[in-house]
Structure 1
C-alpha cells in the first residue's frame, strides 16, 4: 500500500495542497495497534531518533551523573537560544573540552534573541549554536569513555558503531544503509514500523530493568520534563510536551518525521510525510496524540497546528490546515 492523504490546505473553498504519509502506532508488548499507508516504508528518521543515538552514552556508564536537562539536550534539536548555548557550553567545560572538539558544524541560531545578540556583538555563530550540539556533546562524552580518536562522526568510529548496534537492536531491524545527516553524523534507515517499535520500547521501560531499560526510562522522562531543552520557544516539540504536562515525549526530525513516546499507554508512534512538509507532520502527530487521549484537541498548542487557520500579512484569514478525510479515523 502506498502513502495515504493525511493533511490538506484549503483556500477559498478549494483544496490547494495535500500531504500524503505513513504512520504506525505500536504497543510495547502487544505489537501493531494501527497503521496508515505503508508501515514497512523505509525512511531516514533524521533527528526523531536522537534518543536512540543517546542510548550508548547511558548504557556504557559514560553518562552516569548527567542531569535530566543534559539528557534532554542529548536528544535535542534546539534553537540555539541562550538556555541551550549556556548549558552545552557548561557541559563541554565540565569535560575539559571546548567548541572546537565538536564536529557538527556552525549555523545561525533559530532563536531570534540569540541571533540578534550575535549581530549586535558582531559575533559569528559557533558550533554550540548548531541544533545538534547537545547530541554531539553526548557523543564526545561517550568517546572520552571509549578512548577513541577525535573524529567521532565517522561511520566506522567506535561511537557510531555503538549507535548503530543500539539502533538496530531497538528497532528490531538490520538497517539497509545510512545517510549523512546535517550535523555530519550517520543517520541509519529503518522502516516506519521499526521506528514505532523502538519508541514503544522506550514507552514500556520501567526504570527497574537492565541498563538499556534504565537508559530508555531516563531519556524519556528527561525529554518530557524538560521540553524547552528539547527544542525551544514556539517549537512544536516544546509547546506540545508542555501541554501534555510531562506525560509524553515527542520529537520531530527533518523532512517531516515525527515520533511520540507514550509511557502511560506503552505506545510508540512514528510518522513520515512523504513531501517533507513540517506543517503536515505537526498536524498529523497532533491528530494521533488526540486520538490516543493524551492531547486535548482544543488546547492552544494543538489548534496552532491542527485545524489551524492561515492568515496573511494583514491578518486576513486565508485558509486552513486540516486533516484529510479518513485520517486518522479511517
Structure 2
C-alpha cells in the first residue's frame, strides 16, 4: 500500500511542530487519475462529503418535484449546516409542508455551531432539537423520499428502501461496490468507498453529460443548488460555504467529518477527494484550498483560500502563535 503523505504542516516560530498526513486524488470525467498523493486505493468513509450522492434518489425519483422542493431545499439536502436560523427555519418549513415535524427526524439533537443560534437558545432557556442537527436537511430529504418509496418510519435502517437507494446511487457513481458501511454521526449509514471511487463520483457529478439523462438532471440540479446557496450548505466561516461562494460555479466543495473533502469542478470536468488520516479539519481545509489553487480555480491570494493555506493560530491572548500551512507538494 502507498503510504500517506504530508498534506499540511503545523509551524510554531521557525520550527516544524507537527504534520497531518493523508491521501488525495484528482479524477477526470473518464474516471482516470489526473494526480494523486498517498494511496488512491485507501478505503474511507466519505462522511458528509457524500451527501450529494445520497440526495440523488430524492431528485431522480421525482419525489423532490412532487413535494414542491426548490433549490434551497436541494441545497439543504446536501448540507452540513451550523444550525443558524437561516437553516433551521427552512428545514422546519420543509417538514411542515410534508405534514411532518421534528419528531419524525432520526438524526438526534445537536447544539448549534452558529453562535447566535446557540446563545438565543440559552437565553430563552431552550434546549437544541433535531432540526439544529447539521444533517437535518439531509434527513428531511430522506423523509421526502420515504414518502415516495414507503418502508416505514425508520428510514435510517440500512435495509430501508431509502438507504438501499442511497447505497445504489453511491456505488453507481463511484463505479465500485462498497465493501460495507458504518453509522454516521446522524445515525444514517455511511458507505465505504476507495478514495479513487469517491473522486470518480465527484467527477461524474461535474461531467453530468456522462450520466444517463435522469441522473444527469438530478446531479446538475443538486450541484447548481449548492452553488446558488453556499450559505445553506455550511454557514458563516465554513470552508464549504466560503470557497464555494468564491468559486462562483467553478467549484462546489463539501466537507465531511474526520478530515474528508469532496470537490466538484463542472467547468474543468474534474472531481477531487481527500482524506486527512488524523481527521483534522484544519488540515483538510488547507489541503482542499491548495488543490483548488493548483487547478486554477481560485488564486492563492483570495481571502477564502489564503486564510486556509496558511491559517494563523492565535493563543488565548490573541497573539499569532503558530500557523497551519498546506504542503507545497499540493500546489
Is the TM value for this pair above 0.5? yes
The reply to whether residue 170 of structure 1 matches residue 173 of structure 2 is yes
User: Please, which of 314, 322, 330 is the counterpart of residue 328 of structure 1?
Assistant: 330
**Equivalence for 2:44:** 43
Distance 1:291 1:313 in 2: 34
- Show the counterpart of 1:293: 296
Partner of 1:74: 77
* Matched residue SS, 1:47: helix
1:1-330 correspondence runs (5 A): 1-29=2-30, 31-64=32-65, 65-206=68-209, 210-325=213-328, 327-329=329-331
User: How many Å separate the matches in 1 of 2:319 and 2:184?
Assistant: 38
1: CA distance between counterparts of 2:211 and 2:42? 34
For these two proteins, the number of residue pairs brought into alignment is 328
Task: Name the CA distance, whole Å, in 2 between partners of 1:141 and 1:18.
Answer: 43
Report deviation, 1:299.
1.1
Structure 1 position 208, deviation (Å): 9.5
Equivalent residues of 2:107, 2:136 under 8 A apart: yes
Distance 1:207 1:63, change over 3 A: farther
Confirm or deny: 8 A CA contact 1:206 1:214 kept in the other structure: no
Do the aligned residues in 2 keep the contact of 1:207 with 1:214 (CA within 8 Å)? no
- CA shift for structure 1 position 206: 4.5
- Cα deviation, 1:170-189, whole Å, max 9, x if unaligned, reads 10111011000010000000
3-state SS of the aligned residue for 2:275? strand
CA contact (8 A) 1:230 1:237 kept: yes
State how far apart, in whole Å, the 2-side matches of 1:282 and 1:275 are: 13
Gaps of 5+ in 2: none
In structure 2, distance between residues paired with 1:158 and 1:34:
37
Q: What is the distance in 2 between the residues matched to 1:317 and 1:4?
A: 27
Whether contact under 8 Å (1:106, 1:130) holds in the other structure is yes
Conservation of the 8 A alpha-carbon contact between 2:179 and 2:193: yes
Question: Structure 1 residue 209: deviation in Å?
Answer: 5.4
Q: Does the 8 Å CA contact 2:31/2:203 hold for their aligned counterparts?
A: no
TM-score (norm 1): 0.97
Instruction: Report the 3-state secondary structure (helix = DSSP H, G, I; strand = E; otherwise coil) of the residue aligned with 1:298.
Output: coil
Residues in 2 aligned to 1:310 and 1:78: alpha-carbon distance in whole angstroms:
24
The CA distance in 2 between the partners of 1:20 and 1:51, in whole Å, is: 26
Q: Indicate conservation of the 8 Å contact 1:206/1:217, yes or no.
A: no
Asked whether the equivalents of residues 180 and 186 of structure 1 are also in contact (C-alpha less than 8 Å), the reply is: yes
CA 51–42 in structure 1, closer or farther in 2 if over 3 Å, else same = same
Report Cα offsets for 1:169-225 as digits up to 9, x if no partner: 110111011000010000000000000000000000149951100000110111111
Which of 299-308 and 192-201 deviates more? 299-308
Preserved contact between residue 207 and residue 218 of structure 1 (Cα < 8 Å) = no
| Structure 2 contact 47–190 (Cα < 8 Å) conserved | yes
Could you say what secondary structure the match of 1:187 adopts? strand
Distance 1:208 1:75 in 2: 20
Verify the 8 A CA contact 2:249 2:266 in the aligned structure 1.
no
Scaled by the length of structure 2, the TM-score of the pair is: 0.97
Shift of 1:29: 2.7
> How far 1:309 sits from its partner (Å)?
2.5
Q: 71-80 or 27-36: which moved more?
A: 27-36
